[in-house]
Copies of this chain bind each other. A is one copy, B any other.
């Protein structure tokens, strides 16, 4: 068994492509993206500069990669996306029987 890291990310749907660009350029070999039917975080309702409040949609995905690659992706998502838009990310340990797909 080989130990790898799973990185789970939830971001606003309009930032999904930016996350996928970060993943692809980091050297990870794939990702799994699935739709969220509902969710709630501290910034679920957005307010524009006129004070108008509106909800936004989010999407979830995970990537399984080496610890080095997973942490590099995580740091870039924090600095390039989560500073300015809503979302979460977290890491966990996973084991794979064969490493050649990751």
Contacts and interface: CB of A to CB of B under 8 A. Distances in A.
Interface of A: 1, 4, 6, 8, 10, 20, 24, 29-42, 44, 58-60, 64, 74-75, 78, 88-98, 101-102
State how many copies of this chain the complex holds. Answer: 3
Contacts of A29: 41-42
Contacts of A36: 32-34
A58 B32 CA distance: 9
Given A36-B33, A40-B30, A92 B93 contact: yes
Contacts of A93: 92-93
21 contacts: A4-B90, A6-B90, A29-B41, A30-B40, A31-B40, A32-B58, A33-B36, A33-B37, A33-B39, A34-B36, A41-B101, A42-B101, A64-B88, A74-B97, A88-B96, A88-B101, A90-B95, A91-B94, A91-B95, A92-B92, A92-B95
